[in-house]
Amino acid sequence: MVTRLCGHAMEIDAGGRTVLIGGACRDCGNRAFPRAEVCCACMSEDIAAEPMPRSGTLYAFSTVHVASKKWKKPMRVGYVDLPNGVRVFSHLEGELAIGDLMEAGLGIVGEDENGPIESFVFRKAAK
């Protein structure tokens, strides 16, 4: 699945779950999200698409009231730290606290002239 906002950076797997697709360098093992054409650690261009872990820890977040017209406001955004060492900037939903275990899903984060804007969204993981 290719959303207008996220392009090839996410997929919906056979079980209907949202999976972020990052990159893993075949030469040095460095990981990044989203996948880049060149490795920022060793300049290799041999980078495999790699599904990222679906859950991680909320590092920091803010509820934002002033932003471009297209975003649904107030919007909650933050950084989620994945267990593979990658940090992901994401829209968030729900009542949250730093340190919460978060899980990737799909959500509508805004609307523009082409309709609703869909994105991966992290929510508090079910216990």
Partner 1 sequence: MTGVSVVGVGMIPFGKYPEKNIADLGWPAVKAAIKDAGIEPKRIQAAYSGTARGGAMVGQRILGRLGLAGMPVVNVENACSSSSSALRQAVIAVQSGAYDIVLVIGVEKLSKFGGGTLPLDEDDWEVRLGLSMPALYAMRAQRYMHDYGVKLEQLARVSVKNRRNGALNPDAQMRKEVTVDEVLSSRMIADPFTLLQCCPTGDGAAAIILASNTAAHKIRRDPIHVRASHLTSGKFMAGFRDMTSPEITVRGAHECFEEAGLGPNDIDVAEVHDAFSIAELLYYEAFGFCPRGEGAALLESGATCLGGRIPINPSGGLLAKGHPVGATGAAQVVEIVRQLRGEAGPRQVEGAKVGLTHATGGGISGFDHGACSIHVFQR
Q: Smallest gap, in angstroms, from Cβ of residue 112 to partner 1?
A: 12
Rounded to the nearest whole angstrom, what is the least distance from the CB of residue 14 to partner 1 in the complex? 26
Q: Which residues lie near partner 1 (CB under 8 A)?
A: 5-6, 30-34, 40, 59-68, 71, 74-75, 77-79, 81, 85-87, 89-91, 98, 109-110, 119
CA dist., res. 55 & res. 84, Å (int) = 10
- CA separation for the pair 85, 67 (Å, rounded): 29
Whichever of 18 and 119 has its CB closer to partner 1, that residue is: 119
Specify the residue, 12 or 63, whose C-beta has the smaller distance to partner 1.
63
Q: Report yes or no: 42 and 49 within 8 Å, Cβ to Cβ.
A: no
Measured CA to CA in angstroms, residue 64 lies from 24, 72, 92, 123 at distances of 32, 10, 11, 17
Nearer to partner 1, 39 or 103 (CB): 39
